[in-house]
Amino acid sequence: MNRPLSSIKKGSVVYIQNIESCSQCKHHLEEMGFIPGTPVEVCRCCNKGPLVVAIRGGKIMLGQEMARHIMVK
């Protein structure tokens, strides 16, 4: 089942399914490597705050809002 990235526990590795977001943010996220099928590890999260994820060999900080629009499995 698809869930938003914001709901994933620290330490889990999940796979990106799709991004529901404004076209510009979506485009930006995709360019940063958030493409369907890409594995993402949640390194740091806290409720309502931003997250740190490891993706494609680098780390990225993501606001809670954005993470809510990234659907993962």
Partner 1 sequence: MSALTVALAGNPNTGKSTIFNFLTGARQHIGNWPGVTVDKKMGQMTKGNKQINIIDLPGTYSLSAYSLEEKIVKDFLLEEKPDMVVNVVDASNIERNLYLTVQLLEMGIPTVVNLNMMDEAGEKGYNINLEALGKNLGVKVISSVATSKNGLNQLVDSLDPSLTRLAGAADSKLLAEHLKAIENIKKSENNSEIADEKVIEARYEFINKVLEKSLVINEAKESWSDKLDNLLTNRVLGIPIFLSIMYVMFQATFAWVGQPLSDILDGFIGGTLTDWVSGGMESLGTAGWLQSLVVDGIIGGVGGVLVFVPLIFTLFLLISFLDGTGYMARVAFIMDRAMRRIGLSGKAFLPMLIGFGCSVPAIMGARALDTERDRRIAVLIAPFMSCGARLPVYALFAALFFPGRESAVVLSLYILGIIIAIIMGLIFKSTYFKGDAEPFLMELPPYRIPTLKTVLLQTWEKGKGFLVKAGTIIFSMSVLIWFLSSYNFSGPVDIADSLLATIGGVIAPLFTLHGFGTWQSGVAVLTGILAKEAVVATLGVIYGISELAEDAAQAATQLQGSIGATFTGLSAYAFMVFTLLYTPCMAALGTIKKELNSWKWALFAAGYTFLVAWIVSLLIYRVGLLLGLGG
Instruction: Identify whether the C-beta of residue 9 lies closer than 8 Å to the C-beta of residue 40.
Output: no
Binds partner 1 (CB under 8 A): choice among 20, 23, 41, 73? 23
- State yes or no: residue 11 binds partner 1 (CB under 8 A): no
Strand, coil or helix: what is 26? helix
Shortest separation between residue 22's beta carbon and partner 1, angstroms: 9
Distance, CA of 20 to CA of 24 (rounded, Å): 11
Which positions touch partner 1 (CB under 8 A)? 23-25, 27-33, 35-36, 38, 43-44, 46, 48-50, 52, 55-66
